[in-house]
Structure 1
Amino acid sequence: MSGIVVVDDRNDWPVLIPGIEVVTAWDYLTHELHTRARKLRVYNLCRSFGYQTTGYYVSLLAGARGHKPLPEITTIQDLKLAESPRFLNDEIEELIQRSLSPIGSSEYLLNVYFGESLAKRHERLARALFNLFPAPLLQARFVYRGDEWRVETLGPIALGEVPGSHLEFLYEAARDYFARKRTPRTRRDSARYDLAILINEDEKEPPSNARALKAFEKAAEDLGFDVEFLDKSDYGHVAEFDALFIRETTAVNHHTYRFARRAAREGLVVVDDPLSILRAANKVFLAQLMERHRIPQPKTLLLHSRNVKQAARELGFPCVLKQPDSQFSKGVIKVDSETELKRAATEMLERSDLIIAQSYEPTEYDWRVGVLDGQPLYACRYYMAKDHWQVVKRGGNGAVLEGSHETLDVKDVPAQVLNVAVQAARAVGEGLYGVDLKQFGKLVKVIEVNDNPNVDFGVEDLVLKDTLYQKIMAYFARRLEQRTREQSR
């Protein structure tokens, strides 16, 4: 995908950057060369983004032409609503306090150039603001009120408003931005789409190991994708792609959800899509969803501060308590007495007004059925860790002990297991899910539905091998081809 910098006057941008052409806003808006161009990144550095100004129309029409603008029109609109400090999430609020705490004055002006700050101590804050509102040039005004720093204003800054002493830094930040992970490469003739895969190299228990990620990359390229791996600092680049595959553990109050939300808003094909994250990340929602669709699950109570004793009466002991956003056996505990129940429930209810209590129904292993687009994809038996009631046993020193696993061809899986897994996945959505189930003879119960299931080399792929990765990438290709057909009508 080629890139252009759009300015009101060519003299506004004297920087020569390989692979980046400088175009005036008027030329971009009116010349057929740009009207009909495809796969174009548009870096909008116009002097104003006011409603229906030239700069406004550059971002607006870039979206209409299928180009990838920075800033997008939605970012421009979002920034108009950013006067209130409530627009920021807690993570950035904390960063503001830490970053500005050493400052002695009651006001501070921070300019952010392509996600970078001239003041090194504010680098993380600058990147966080850029990730939340991806615009090439941002200016944030902070004031100290009471006992904390607050955002007074936040918005795009025009090139003409950049202090002369900042220009060299701005140009260097632009060079770094265009070069970082954007090294020009020979595009294969077969490449039709751009796929971003979001990962976190520092994650201790990622949903896909390194060899699986390589297998995904190869499968995607074989199907005509150009593939690029992103991390959380690449939020500003999301709109440059056709599809986003999240291979980092997802959560709602987390950058993974923000990536998914933004990608969906920009029309990308997304796995995991934001609605699936919202639904599957909360076990309270899942419990109610299974009940609504009459999908069997262990006996379940929605626990709150006023009905803790009810769990003892209706579920007996032992029983299981689950934090709504628990993952990987974390936040899931077994209690053996009313005293333990009260203590554990009180602790959990400090973090969430509702939690889940379920009957304890032990099995030798849990089924995990991978479901893609409403169809079973793979199936595994995950056995309980030695001398433990869960698949994963976590020690107090951080040690992790996992049970063994067995991967089966889906045709060898009991029909009832597959049927219940598919029902549960379809209730959540149409993407990629891992459904955990327990089997008691012909009776099968859903434990949970994961929106971000493990697909690891050497585990889930033991039966299908490369075909597993190809099937998942083919899902993206089908969705993109369908979108292309609909847009051409």
Structure 2
Amino acid sequence: MKIAFLVTDVPTEVDEYTTTRLARAAAAAGHEVWYLGVTDVEVGAGEGYLMGRARAAHLEDRDTLESFMERIKEQEPQRVVLDGLDALFIRNESVDDLQDRPWAAPLAPVFGQMLKARGVTVVNDPMSLIRATSKLYLEEFPEQVRPRSLVTRDPAAIEQFVREVGHSVVKPLYGAKGRNVFMVEDENEANLAQMTEAVLADGYAVVQEFVDGEEEGDARIFVLEGRILERDGRYAAFRRVPTGNDPRANISVGGRSVPLEVGETERAIVAAMADKLVADGMFLVGIDVIGDKVVEINAESPGGMQSVERLYDVDVGPVVIDALEARTGSR
């Protein structure tokens, strides 16, 4: 299988993260692996092909994740015909581009759709990914698996929602890594106007009812082709716990990961979401769960496999690559 990982920017890739682990698993399985950023694509060059200035990802016997990624970054980019790929794995963070490179933010699904039309297997499905990169995607799933919520740019509507619902969370429609996420106790929150202003500066706001147990963190569950990702009886799922006085559990803002015992509640949530995730071409997603509610779906570049490996001493990357290989028909 010839596979490329489309990332935000190759020089800024972090060796410890999930994308590196997936690329390592693909290279270890003997596949031809390439990395390219969203700014490395050319359209119309070479007889109308999509071309990519890509870097080869070669895995050596003694490689660590650090040495593997360092070698990728040291590679001179080569011109690769992207039409000739078996699979393209979209793993960029468009939210990171919204601030400094807004023109780059929408490009990954655009290029992905062009390659899909040319017969390349693209995951996650690029057209669905356009919807799934916003928190609005959660509203398409059954009511029983999601908290009551409101998407708006009207500060008065936010105040009314908090007045009716009480304890709530306010966050940007497009956002990640815990940026501008605020807890609101009730309508008497003194800083509600300032919180709302900060969130609306990023576009639309999402207001969700507070789910019991939220102060204790959330569960990140990887879902592969509609089922909880697992290997050797170990589920790719863990709990993210906030530290200190910060209520956010995101690892990027200091949260820590602890083991999660997957039970009937988690299985029922995934079962209720499975058909739609599969129909939408959501090959690999990370869902964030509190109690019996999904508070977020991470479809663009779900992370956390490093926590799975650290907590359970299992690498689930090969399972993902095996499923992708089966999907492309490369076997």
After TM superposition, give the deviation of residue 214 of structure 1 in Å: 5.2
1:315 aligned to 2:165?
yes
Matching residue of 2:36? 230
1:241 aligned to 2:241?
no
- In the alignment, which of 175, 183, 187 is matched to residue 334 of structure 1? 183
Matching residue of 1:175? none
Matching residue of 2:55? none
How big is each residue's C-alpha offset from its partner over 1:384-434, in whole Å with a ceiling of 9 and x where there is no partner? 1222111138xxxxxx641221245xxx41121122034335434341000
1:356 aligned to 2:206?
yes
Matching residue of 1:136? none
Counterpart residue type for residue 307 of structure 1: A
Aligned pairs for 1:31-70 (under 5 A) are none
SS of equivalent to 1:308: helix
1:470 aligned to 2:318?
yes
SS of equivalent to 1:267: coil
* TM-score normalised over the length of structure 1: 0.49
1:299–1:418 CA distance, 2 compared to 1 (3 A): same
Unaligned runs of 5+ in 1: 1-192, 394-399
- In the alignment, which of 286, 296, 302 is matched to residue 453 of structure 1? 302
**RMSD of aligned alpha carbons:** 2.8
1:298 aligned to 2:147?
yes
- In the alignment, which of 236, 250, 253 is matched to residue 392 of structure 1? 250
SS of equivalent to 1:307: helix
Counterpart residue type for residue 240 of structure 2: Y
Q: Which runs of 4+ in 1 moved over 6 A?
A: none
- In the alignment, which of 256, 269, 288 is matched to residue 121 of structure 2? 269
SS of equivalent to 1:334: strand
SS of equivalent to 1:460: helix
Whole-Å separation in 2 of the counterparts to 1:389 and 1:228? 38
After TM superposition, give the deviation of residue 341 of structure 1 in Å: 2.6
Whole-Å separation in 2 of the counterparts to 1:370 and 1:380? 9
* TM-score normalised over the length of structure 2: 0.71
SS of equivalent to 1:386: coil
Matching residue of 1:383? 241
Matching residue of 2:106? 254
1:198 aligned to 2:9?
no
1:401–1:211 CA distance, 2 compared to 1 (3 A): closer
Whole-Å separation in 1 of the counterparts to 2:168 and 2:256? 24
Whole-Å separation in 1 of the counterparts to 2:165 and 2:224? 34
Is the contact between residue 425 and residue 449 of structure 1 (CA under 8 Å) also seen in structure 2? no
Counterpart residue type for residue 382 of structure 1: R
Matching residue of 1:128? none
Counterpart residue type for residue 245 of structure 1: F
Is the contact between residue 239 and residue 258 of structure 2 (CA under 8 Å) also seen in structure 1? yes
1:414–1:350 CA distance, 2 compared to 1 (3 A): same
1:313–1:218 CA distance, 2 compared to 1 (3 A): closer
Unaligned runs of 5+ in 2: 43-50, 52-81, 99-104, 230-235
1:213–1:427 CA distance, 2 compared to 1 (3 A): closer
Is the contact between residue 454 and residue 460 of structure 1 (CA under 8 Å) also seen in structure 2? no
How big is each residue's C-alpha offset from its partner over 1:172-200, in whole Å with a ceiling of 9 and x where there is no partner? xxxxxxxxxxxxxxxxxxxxx21111233
Whole-Å separation in 2 of the counterparts to 1:477 and 1:301? 39
Whole-Å separation in 2 of the counterparts to 1:295 and 1:480? 34
Whole-Å separation in 2 of the counterparts to 1:250 and 1:461? 26
Is the contact between residue 369 and residue 418 of structure 1 (CA under 8 Å) also seen in structure 2? no
Counterpart residue type for residue 435 of structure 1: I
Whole-Å separation in 1 of the counterparts to 2:253 and 2:17? 21
Is the contact between residue 169 and residue 209 of structure 2 (CA under 8 Å) also seen in structure 1? yes
1:213–1:370 CA distance, 2 compared to 1 (3 A): closer
SS of equivalent to 1:239: helix
Whole-Å separation in 2 of the counterparts to 1:250 and 1:415? 34
After TM superposition, give the deviation of residue 371 of structure 1 in Å: 0.2
SS of equivalent to 1:370: strand
Structure with the greater alpha carbon radius of gyration: 1
Whole-Å separation in 1 of the counterparts to 2:227 and 2:33? 25
Is the contact between residue 158 and residue 207 of structure 2 (CA under 8 Å) also seen in structure 1? no
Is the contact between residue 221 and residue 227 of structure 1 (CA under 8 Å) also seen in structure 2? yes
Q: Which structure has the higher relative contact order (CA within 8 Å, separation 6+)?
A: 2
- In the alignment, which of 164, 173, 176 is matched to residue 324 of structure 1? 173
1:471–1:420 CA distance, 2 compared to 1 (3 A): same
Counterpart residue type for residue 341 of structure 1: L
Is the contact between residue 425 and residue 433 of structure 1 (CA under 8 Å) also seen in structure 2? no
